[in-house]
Structure 1
């Protein structure tokens, strides 16, 4: 029987629909990158309150993202960064993390600068079972007493950086020490670690003054005078940023530290050293980042790429931001997935190549063995520099796995 006009119409519509579906399927399969969903990295940090460190940090992250994506991404997928400001406040940080996880559907979270903020986000990661790479917070609690399965840390901790300075502190053979530090988790942690390690190495030392100052609100005149009145022959400083600049200027004006031997955390980092210019306190032994004096091929490649991208020299924040993204890319590649449990397994013992050379994330406490430079401050051509800087491998100043187990009770 011959088909009716209605049946012919149905036939042609069915054929046309099938052809259209086939073409659509072919287009999805053949358009480059169409099927590759990005890997979404949620990042939160104190951008407004700590711009000296975090503006370079953001640039370092972007440089690494550009390099990774130009090379084809990770697992054939591009990396996408979704950033939020945490306000420098633990409560705001947790709310930002929750927004990133629930609304933005990120695959993992990273970042934080201030130690008490990092601890709050680490606790959130533990409760929500979300992978968290803490980029900058330094408190020892993050990987030891308050450590958890889902949190890893990149930067050398307060313990590590204090231990890097300890040989110089003990070699000076000074007995009367004064301490000055910002009165929040990072400063408190650094001060306690320094006292513990120094007294173990030199039992006869005395702590003759302790100045714990409000973060960002130091009364530099009163603090330096109190230290001068205590007549110390050595000082351990943990101040950074504008607080450090005010402290140094008042100390210079009053001669408060004349004759005192000074060891100082972070003061060789360009973020905090550059603003001092010719006011830089010569002779301080510091941890930092002498970008102008690192001849290794790894660092030269990073330095050239950074200067080409931004027309400026890098800061420590640049190194941290860059290495954070490189670590995440390496971890996802090793895991073969963005699944949280697979990322945890992959980061335990993960080897990463960075601008300071290779390092690993320890399985025992999730701390990276990334190191720092130690040197003595001086002034050259009107600006502060680190003289004779030496790189200290983070692995050389960390406790053994057996000792770590005592510091990290039931972390997992």
Structure 2
């Protein structure tokens, strides 16, 4: 090859590279990348439906033209239910994938790790599922908002019903990590306020995912309580219910239980599902509003399955992000944080607002009793409790939350 041909070939190669780089940049500019982090392998019962929920929302948004004239792309990563892995994955999504923002989280400890990451790195983070109060109170920050009702809100939604029982001797069982600990602290405080003569006669706190159900149920039975407050969920709940049924633990006591009415945890129990417990949950089969019916019909058509609570959370989380980006007119973290303050979002079950004072949404809770129908557990006699009615007074929130 002579010198002239070599130079010409080099110029063509450079030009082709520039064209390819430009095309790649243009493609990137036409897409908004969003990072999603969750414990898919560790908590599949909730998070497989949750993933379907945000996938359905993503398809709807992109089919309608995307956001700000750009298509959305969600890049999801698994954190193995480990706070350290949550932060490592967040770093990878930001540095390697160049995502614009983060959402997700399931366990309270991983949610807190991502909340701190958002603060330290000035990245917008929507905590979709983690329930710990600390996300919006003690560890709250400018860049973090939360969709689901907090632990305090869920407890507040059932305490009124618990007090109506007029039971004096209460036993308590919960998973021994942040969510369970904060749920019990709130329950004790709020029930004492409503019923000063209440006594807590037994407390069982097995490690998350490692319950010795026989020993736990026997210890509770030995205390001879009038009522039980339960915060167990997932596999721990199933083992507790089955062992309690076998030993007759629930025959003569009232049970107030967080999360048990969610199909994720009720469906696997089939005809062993507990009866007449006071629970929070998601009775998708009996919510008859047009908005909810549209959501259920679309979900069934897309996945040939019925929605779970995770489906509702995943769908509402991505739709919240879309509403925030539209309001901000940008994916800039500071602009998004400002846009989410007071942001109104329509979900399939309610209109919600992300509160300026603590970044908590006003998504509420369905509270009712458990029952059996056609060999499976359901919620009966339920009502929706608006999340706005379950909040601490603003003065109390201000004491708990650091200045942004």
What secondary structure is seen at the aligned counterpart in 2 of 1:66?
helix
What does the per-residue CA deviation read over 1:28-52, in whole Å, with 9 as the maximum and x for residues that have no partner?
Answer: 8xxxx96852111100000000000
Q: Distance in 1 between matches of 2:92 and 2:30?
A: 20
Alignment of 1:244 with 2:227, yes or no, is no
Larger Rg: 1
Q: Distance in 1 between matches of 2:176 and 2:58?
A: 35
Aligned to 2:171: 178
**May I ask how many residue pairs the two structures share in their alignment?**
386
RMSD of Structure 2 on Structure 1 (CA):
1.7
Aligned to 1:83: 76
Aligned to 1:119: 112
Quote how far apart the aligned CAs of 1:349 are. 0.4
Quote how far apart the aligned CAs of 1:403 are. 2.3
Aligned to 2:51: 58
What secondary structure is seen at the aligned counterpart in 2 of 1:247?
helix
Q: Conserved in 1, the CA contact under 8 Å of 2:266 and 2:377? A: yes
User: If the length of structure 2 is used for normalisation, what is the TM-score?
Assistant: 0.93
Q: Distance in 1 between matches of 2:336 and 2:47?
A: 26
Q: Distance in 1 between matches of 2:383 and 2:327?
A: 32
Runs of 4+ in structure 1 deviating by more than 4 angstroms, as ranges, are 33-36
What does the per-residue CA deviation read over 1:106-142, in whole Å, with 9 as the maximum and x for residues that have no partner?
Answer: 0000101000110011001100000000010000111
Q: Distance in 1 between matches of 2:375 and 2:219?
A: 30
**Alignment partner of 2:311 out of 302, 309, 318:** 318
Q: Distance in 1 between matches of 2:181 and 2:248?
A: 26
Q: Conserved in 2, the CA contact under 8 Å of 1:36 and 1:76? A: no
Q: Distance in 2 between matches of 1:98 and 1:36?
A: 21
Q: Distance in 1 between matches of 2:181 and 2:28?
A: 49
Mapping of residues 11-410 of structure 1, within 5 Å: 36-410=29-403
What does the per-residue CA deviation read over 1:272-326, in whole Å, with 9 as the maximum and x for residues that have no partner?
Answer: 0001111111110000000100001110110010000001000000000000100
**Which residues of structure 2 form unaligned runs of 5+?**
1-7
Q: Which moved more, 1:34-43 or 1:163-172?
A: 34-43
What secondary structure is seen at the aligned counterpart in 2 of 1:213?
coil
Q: Conserved in 2, the CA contact under 8 Å of 1:115 and 1:137? A: yes
Q: Distance in 1 between matches of 2:249 and 2:212?
A: 14
Q: Distance in 2 between matches of 1:400 and 1:381?
A: 43
Q: Distance in 1 between matches of 2:211 and 2:394?
A: 39
Q: Distance in 1 between matches of 2:222 and 2:360?
A: 40
Q: Conserved in 2, the CA contact under 8 Å of 1:36 and 1:78? A: no
Q: Distance in 2 between matches of 1:74 and 1:350?
A: 16
Quote how far apart the aligned CAs of 1:55 are. 0.3
Q: 1:35 to 1:93 in 2, by over 3 A?
A: closer
User: If the length of structure 1 is used for normalisation, what is the TM-score?
Assistant: 0.91
Q: Conserved in 2, the CA contact under 8 Å of 1:42 and 1:109? A: yes
Q: Distance in 2 between matches of 1:37 and 1:118?
A: 30
Q: Conserved in 1, the CA contact under 8 Å of 2:141 and 2:402? A: no
Q: 1:35 to 1:81 in 2, by over 3 A?
A: closer
Aligned to 1:10: none
